[in-house]
Structure 1
């Protein structure tokens, strides 16, 4: 699968032009749930009356007896109101949801409310960036796998080379390592990278640098920002008869 270079380049340009108006969804929320939220909210608002009593919706949101489906509706309606009180209500709810099942839904409502409020206050276009893995402090979260050639176990020296070279590149580019794990024949990384960084090119270039010491790493990496791959998924991909054995995963933005 190939990376969507056109989308990536567009994102880099938007980052440069509208840096102060970017909003990144920080929570790790499956893309399917994000689509569900926006589709639900769109249909809901199309069928609602033009006037919505903000205070009434807020009181309903914090009423314990109401169902999850009702709370889902009130969060979406409040997110569509360009109002500080509506935003604060969603923020308060999200900080400690009465219904834990709505943690992701309230996160989506909060970022939508923030974007709408900023648009209303500044009169300027806001840009929403979301991925399945989310982000933090203006950076996107990526998960990637670095595997050996032929699934041969790494030697201690080879492992040291991988750790050293990747940490050097990460320090050089301001990439933050959230998690690093080593298995017999592959490494996994969970990192935060600035939007302007071409993470695939950086990872592949670092692999080429490591391979100057003996060509022991598969030249292509598996990279995704949609989900954290399980050990079972990774080893299935890397298996000799795996459907995507040795190939690069697409970066979805």
Structure 2
């Protein structure tokens, strides 16, 4: 589903389609970009679409061992183009136990079908967002690292810090998935809605955690691309 289009008018440069999505689906894990582009190419070459009843019957046979991988690959693309509840159910079933060669391909098919299904239900375009750390369907996953001013907190203070993080996140419809004390750092993994700035969540957390005592430095590391390595965290600390 291409929600971003280019202008054909000379001199106008790039232009957006008139229906830029306001609703988005966030993938749980990052999609393979190259494979995703191949999938979209396959969608565009499907012409004509097979009879719907025949396609559903073929979809019901995806989990069998007799159908060639190339045939399954084609059927997954065709089901994704339908965007019906029945097609989505078949894709969901296959995604739970896919052929290893089609694990990522089937995941892309499921998201593409879901976009079409939700677009029809909402009567408006729905887009897809995929980042390195993924999300939970509606929120993006981030990791941020806070740095203690001095000695890291004792167990009782750690509970207070976690409670403070939870309260701030609750106010922003966000969720703390992990909060790990790794002296001299606090390593936090959160889910944040797309309409909320992650920087706002972090800075409000710092403000709350530093109310009683200057517990943390104002500088922090944040990413939604990949899990930061020990070397990357150390490099950040060295620059403070």
Q: Does TM, normalized by the shorter one, top 0.5?
A: yes
How many residue pairs get aligned? The number is: 217
After superposition, residues 36-75 of structure 1 pair within 5 angstroms as: 36-53=34-51, 54-55=55-56, 57-58=58-59, 61-65=62-66, 71-75=72-76
Task: Mark the CA change 1:155 to 1:191 in structure 2 (over 3 Å): closer, same or farther.
Answer: closer
What is the match of residue 109 of structure 2?
109
SS in 2 for 1:147: strand
What is the match of residue 86 of structure 1?
87
Q: Unpaired segments of 5 or more residues in structure 2?
A: 1-18
Instruction: Out of 176-185 and 140-149, give the one that drifted further.
Output: 140-149
SS in 1 for 2:202: helix
User: CA RMSD of the aligned region, Å?
Assistant: 3.3
Shift of 1:55: 3.9
Shift of 1:62: 2.8
Q: Unpaired segments of 5 or more residues in structure 1?
A: 1-13, 247-253
What is the match of residue 141 of structure 1?
141
* Cα separation, 2, equivalents of 1:110 and 1:167: 32
SS in 1 for 2:218: coil
- Structure with higher helix content: 1
- For residues 89-137 of structure 1, what are the alpha-carbon distances to aligned partners after superposition, in whole Å with 9 as ceiling and x for unaligned? 112112x223256444323211210221333455422233333333336
TM-score (norm 1): 0.68
Shift of 1:226: 2.8
TM-score (norm 2): 0.71
Shift of 1:202: 1.9
1:181 counterpart = 2:165:
no
Task: Mark the CA change 1:69 to 1:234 in structure 2 (over 3 Å): closer, same or farther.
Answer: farther
What is the match of residue 218 of structure 2?
219
After superposition, residues 122-133 of structure 1 pair within 5 angstroms as: 123-133=123-133
Q: 2:236 aligns with which of 224, 234, 238?
A: 238
Contact 2:49 2:78 in 1 (8 A): no
